[in-house]
Amino acid sequence: MIQQSTHNPIKAVGLISGGLDSILAAKIVKDLGVEVHGVYFAMPWGCCDKGKAQSAAEQIGIPLIVLQLDERYLQVVKTPKYGYGSVMNPCVDCRIHMFTRAAQYMRHINAQFIFTGEIIGQRPMSQKRHSMRWIEEGARLEGRLLRPLCAQLMEPTIPEQEGLIDREKLLAISGRSRKGQLQLAEQLSITAFSAPAGGCSLTDSNFAERMKDTLKHGYRNFRETIALKWGRHFRLNPQFKAILGRDEMENKALMHYAHPQDTIMQLEDNLGPTLILKGDNPTEEILKFCAGLIQRFSRYKNETSVPVKYWIAHDQNTIKNILSVQLNETEIEKISIHNAS
């Protein structure tokens, strides 16, 4: 059983996604008398939902902090030590990055170990025995990374060896089936949890092509990569890229995440796609072409030309106008960056 005192409680940091596995892991560890602190990693193009993670933490009664993946994570995506999965997903390196940051928090609050809802064999890249070992070593968490749902299938961790955790209360789940987790959830009266997610956007070939294009031609801040999940994307040349919103929600999102130096373009009546032009000091030819893209994806696609207004994102008071040029399908297809998604 756990050896602890009132003055020095056993603490652990758990990665909480809002999914069933992470909730069960947290519940198991907490029920063993450990003071659990949850961490959620906000990934702009990931597979987890912050609201569901917060609800999960409230359901089992633990505090939760949110850590944003940032520029440091982009470097992981760009040059992963352990390579990519099915498309551009650096699953092992991604886990190492998150656990490294979680370990910093663990030390900050004087916790003894980290735990996660990972299960042997559940995911093809990051949840094989050798991958789990690489993650533990890469994050410098040797012996201090507990996986409660499959712990009995693995070597005992330091908290188990030291008697901080009762190994007999841990589980031996493996594989992709969720039957065991669902049965356990019923036993523990856990009813609110996320359904299995569709996966990280980096596993989507269309999104991955946009990311490759961005990393190849450069970006000015992390926020720009958030916009990769919205709209139609077009690479005009190495210096300029255009993104068009597909609906009102995307138009607003693209404007919100626009860089201060981006050029924003709209139809004069605002009844059509908003275009974000990335690149400094666009020529009149570039602006006319972008106006043509707006026309092509608007109700005016059959018109000879339409007026389009534009301004620099940081200066909304200086609005100019330009006439579009009519574009054909061949011209548009040549510059499209996988817009099927």
160, part of any domain? yes
258, part of any domain? yes
Neighbours of 235 (CB within 10 A): 19
Same domain, 238 and 137: no
**What pLDDT, on the 0 to 100 scale, is given for residue 186?**
87
Same domain, 40 and 65: yes
**What pLDDT, on the 0 to 100 scale, is given for residue 193?**
74
**What pLDDT, on the 0 to 100 scale, is given for residue 191?**
76
Q: What letter would DSSP give residue 310? A: E
81, part of any domain? yes
Alpha-carbon distance values, 213 to 64, 77, 81, 239 (Å): 35, 13, 20, 12
CATH code of the domain in which 101 resides = 3.40.50.620
Same domain, 164 and 231: no
Same domain, 126 and 272: no
**What pLDDT, on the 0 to 100 scale, is given for residue 104?**
97
Same domain, 85 and 234: no
Flag residues of the chain having pLDDT under 50: 1-2, 5-6, 341
Alpha-carbon distance values, 3 to 31, 33, 136, 168, 243 (Å): 14, 10, 25, 15, 58
115, part of any domain? yes
210, part of any domain? yes
4, part of any domain? no
Same domain, 104 and 77: yes
Domain boundary among 187, 217, 233: 187
**What pLDDT, on the 0 to 100 scale, is given for residue 262?**
97
Domain of 156 in residue numbering reads as 11-187
277, part of any domain? yes
b/e per residue, 38-50, with b = 16+ CB within 10 A? bbbbebbbbbbbb
Same domain, 149 and 229: no
List the one residue out of 10, 44, 36, 11 whose CA is nearest residue 214.
44
63, part of any domain? yes
Percent of the chain that is helix, strand, coil (3-state, to 5):
40, 15, 45
What pTM was computed for the model?
0.86
Domain boundary among 126, 161, 187: 187
**Mean pLDDT estimate for the chain:** 91
Alpha carbon distance 234, 186 (integer Å): 49
Using DSSP bridges, classify how beta strands 64-68 and 35-42 pair: parallel, antiparallel or unpaired. Answer: parallel
Same domain, 211 and 275: yes
Express each pLDDT in 200-244 by its tens digit: 889 899 999 999 999 999 888 888 888 998 999 999 999 999 999
Same domain, 119 and 246: no
Same domain, 173 and 302: no
**What pLDDT, on the 0 to 100 scale, is given for residue 195?**
63
List the one residue out of 241, 236, 299, 235 whose CA is nearest residue 267.
299
Alpha carbon distance 90, 42 (integer Å): 16
Express each pLDDT in 274-319 by its tens digit: 999 999 999 999 999 999 999 999 999 999 999 999 999 999 999 9
- The number of domains in the chain is 2
Domain boundary among 187, 216, 243: 187
